[in-house]
């Protein structure tokens, strides 16, 4: 799928945002491939991302899948925009035991305000890559400055002018 990109500097913006997220550092996450509408994130296995049976913790799987999808959505937003997750559903398919996790997030349906993404999280070992979770993630674009041109006498334009006057 090809997408219209409104910010030619989207990759730099994604990489900057990624480094500002403290959870990424806590998990040891690294940002891999960044392309219009898709992002990959990896997390190496360590005791700090494990659960009691020695697998990757489900919270880590959900977190990097969510981040990959959010960053994928952000590749399509205007300059200055940020994103927030509204909702996600994760299906855990198998225990995640391996050297690292690899999350791939991709935009399924871009929108001006709401974008729907799909995520897949794989566990990677020496000789294998195994799908351990799938996700559906709904992302909201925030902070984007969009100019809306309305007819001068439209009811919406009149209400907006009044609201500015009374600082509503």
Q: How many residues does the chain have?
A: 168
Task: Compute the distance between CA of residue 130 and CA of residue 80 in angstroms, rounded to an integer.
Answer: 36
C-alpha torsion 125→30→74→136, nearest 10: 30
Helices (H), the chain: 10-20, 22-27, 58-74, 155-166
**Contact (Cβ atoms closer than 8 angstroms) between residue 144 and residue 152:** no
Tell me if the pTM is above 0.75: yes
Q: What tens-digit pLDDT sequence spans the chain (168 residues)? A: 889 899 999 999 999 999 999 999 999 999 999 999 999 999 999 999 999 999 999 999 999 999 999 999 999 999 999 999 999 999 999 999 999 999 999 999 999 999 999 999 999 988 889 999 999 999 999 986 554 455 666 666 566 566 566 654
**Contact (Cβ atoms closer than 8 angstroms) between residue 67 and residue 41:** yes
Q: Which CATH number fits domain 10-166: 3.40.50.2000, 1.25.40.420, 3.10.129.10, 1.10.10.10?
A: 3.10.129.10
Those residues with Cβ within 8 angstroms of residue 141's Cβ, 6 or more apart along the chain or in another chain:
73, 77, 81, 82, 83, 111, 112, 113, 114, 115
Task: Compute the distance between CA of residue 49 and CA of residue 60 in angstroms, rounded to an integer.
Answer: 6
Those residues with Cβ within 8 angstroms of residue 137's Cβ, 6 or more apart along the chain or in another chain:
65, 66, 69, 70, 85, 87, 88, 105, 116, 117, 118, 119
Those residues with Cβ within 8 angstroms of residue 152's Cβ, 6 or more apart along the chain or in another chain:
none
CA distances from residue 73 to 44, 89, 118, 162 in whole angstroms, order as listed:
24, 16, 10, 34
């Amino acid at each position: 799928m090809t997408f219209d990109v409104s910010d030619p500097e989207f990759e730099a913006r994604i990489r900057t945002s990624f480094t500002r997220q403290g959870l990424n550092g806590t998990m040891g996450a690294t940002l891999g491939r960044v392309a219009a509408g898709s992002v990959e994130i990896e997390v190496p296995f360590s005791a700090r991302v494990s659960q009691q049976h020695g697998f990757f913790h489900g919270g880590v799987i959900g977190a990097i899948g969510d981040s990959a999808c959010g960053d994928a959505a952000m590749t399509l937003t205007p300059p200055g925009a940020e994103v927030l997750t509204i909702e996600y559903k994760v299906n855990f398919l198998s225990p995640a035991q391996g050297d690292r996790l690899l999350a791939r997030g991709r935009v399924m349906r871009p929108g001006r305000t709401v974008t729907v993404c799909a995520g897949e999280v794989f566990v990677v070992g020496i000789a294998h890559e195994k799908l351990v979770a799938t996700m559906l993630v709904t992302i909201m674009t925030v902070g984007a400055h969009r100019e809306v041109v309305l007819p001068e006498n439209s009811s919406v334009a009149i209400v907006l002018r009044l609201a500015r006057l009374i600082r509503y």
